[in-house]
Structure 1
């Protein structure tokens, strides 16, 4: 599935012409609010469309790329499909049958106790298909409706056919954004980089670090990776922002106080170096009991911390 960028940039030009002349660009806003916070690759890729089209950002939401597979009890790779159906990073959804079948678009769940140096995991970091879904400046994004009752208008705005796969993906994104979070979850869908910055800093303060998964090579095979080191990032709270499937960049951001973030350095069998962002959830008691993680790991909700790596185009915010 591919969202074509040309209508979006035409919209950008028309709206930017009437936007405030003094308004900061998304990149300028980041620098003004977070002068001491380096911008992760996942954000840079979405600010520069020409670079993004050849980047290694991962688009899990539309099934065009992804992260990782684990190893089952008999040593066979276990793929956890992201599409169709709700993304596995949303706590309230049960797994679909398709998500339990082998699929190269994956998100790996594992137990926190297994994340330690020397541990080997079979992983596949997949380069995404370019979508053109870059960040719009906030003054442009705020002029575009983003609600279920405005869906026909939104689709018309972007010349998306109502019966297309793109329309279904956009509808799904909006619906998930409108639904209430689970107990203890504060959620927000950011339709611009500026709004992502504002939400994250409102929860964690401005002394923050933003991190994302980074892979040394653009293309790597399914292979064994050895964990070299594990570094805990920040306290036991984080804001995690998941890239959604949409005509422009939209992130599903959520914060809980039972989340631990880690940066995991790994080396592949072909010597590819990876700095993978991992999130561990210490309280899963409010999750759907049929969530994908429980079915893959064969554990019950609320019993043990559950972790997963994040694709390359997701962003984790932690306090310094």
Structure 2
């Protein structure tokens, strides 16, 4: 009888350990930022085999990235329709011709197909530094190396589902020193962490057409010499290196910034 009790107790303990066990990536995160929740944006980095069964970024999320606009468009009352866009009057509207992957292809020549290796090992654009990471630990090490400190935070957007029309409610400047980490649109879980010189990050409060409120991480690039000239001209009728260009950051990405700047903006 005593043996049976011990067996049951052992099984219970094993089950409890299985439930509460954390991954090495989570342990590493907590060792640096104790009692700080891991942002949902990075949860894919905890998948055991490092691969999903489908492409992670759907059409709706692609539209979050592919809205290009000018910095002076960031003011209360401005209307946006998510998608590849250009300004018409007081409204940002989609392109007639849809595109995909603007979040990274604004820094690259257009390609119908591109392998993960093509992207990660391609030369960086002018004024850009990039690094592909496939684990939470490698991402943490990369951003700490960039900032030279652990006093940093990750912030991200929380766009509402099934909403593509928004009005700007408030604009807050976050930082002029940010590292953006984007989930690449491949089944293998890889993030592109890159930093582009002369870039300003904002957190923009938006109100959807149904009244839903959301926060949109937004970056404005002041050095656009390395941007895709075809996309810039189609979106804004400008050429690289002439004027600052901005775009939203979708839910599958985050910005790492100094933590003293954004104490109330963690997402």
- Structures share fold, TM-score greater than 0.5: yes
2:136 to 193, 209, 221: 193
In 2, the alpha carbon distance for the partners of 1:247 and 1:120 equals: 34
Equivalent in the alignment of 2:210? 270
2:63 to 57, 68, 82: 68
In 2, the alpha carbon distance for the partners of 1:118 and 1:259 equals: 24
Residue by residue over 1:251-304, the C-alpha shift from the partner in whole angstroms, topping out at 9 and shown as x without a partner, is: 0111123111111111111011111111110111233433x1332111121121
In 2, the alpha carbon distance for the partners of 1:48 and 1:220 equals: 26
2:241 to 302, 305, 308: 302
Do residues 114 (structure 1) and 73 (structure 2) align?
yes
Equivalent in the alignment of 2:86? none
Q: 1:49-88 maps to which residues of 2 (within 5 A)?
A: 59-60=56-57, 63-68=58-63
Larger Rg: 2
Equivalent in the alignment of 2:219? 279
Deviation at 1:65, TM superposition (A): 4.0
Residue by residue over 1:139-183, the C-alpha shift from the partner in whole angstroms, topping out at 9 and shown as x without a partner, is: xxxxxxxxxxxxxxxxxxxxxxxxxxxxx97x6121110112123
In 2, the alpha carbon distance for the partners of 1:228 and 1:250 equals: 33
Residue by residue over 1:10-69, the C-alpha shift from the partner in whole angstroms, topping out at 9 and shown as x without a partner, is: xxxxxxxxxxxxx962111112123376532212465479xxx9xxxx933xx5542437
In 2, the alpha carbon distance for the partners of 1:38 and 1:261 equals: 22
TM-align CA RMSD: 2.7
2:157 to 191, 207, 213: 213
Residue by residue over 1:117-147, the C-alpha shift from the partner in whole angstroms, topping out at 9 and shown as x without a partner, is: 12111237xxxxxxxxxxxxxxxxxxxxxxx
Instruction: Name the CA shift for 1:44/1:285 in 2 (closer, same or farther; >3 Å).
Output: same
Q: 1:48-197 maps to which residues of 2 (within 5 A)?
A: 59-60=56-57, 63-68=58-63, 107-123=66-82, 172-197=115-140
Instruction: Name the CA shift for 1:271/1:260 in 2 (closer, same or farther; >3 Å).
Output: same
Deviation at 1:237, TM superposition (A): 2.1
**8 Å contact 1:183–1:286 — kept in the other structure?**
yes
In 1, the alpha carbon distance for the partners of 2:79 and 2:59 equals: 26
Deviation at 1:108, TM superposition (A): 0.6
Alignment length, in residue pairs? 204
Unaligned runs of 5+ in 1: 1-22, 70-105, 125-167
**8 Å contact 1:67–1:310 — kept in the other structure?**
no
Equivalent in the alignment of 1:5? none
Q: TM-score by structure 1 length?
A: 0.57
Residue by residue over 1:62-100, the C-alpha shift from the partner in whole angstroms, topping out at 9 and shown as x without a partner, is: x5542437xxxxxxxxxxxxxxxxxxxxxxxxxxxxxxx
Q: 1:231-242 maps to which residues of 2 (within 5 A)?
A: 231-234=172-175, 236-242=176-182
Deviation at 1:184, TM superposition (A): 2.3
Q: TM-score by structure 2 length?
A: 0.68
SS in 1 for 2:140: helix
Deviation at 1:231, TM superposition (A): 1.2
SS in 2 for 1:66: helix
Instruction: Name the CA shift for 1:239/1:67 in 2 (closer, same or farther; >3 Å).
Output: same
In 1, the alpha carbon distance for the partners of 2:47 and 2:125 equals: 35
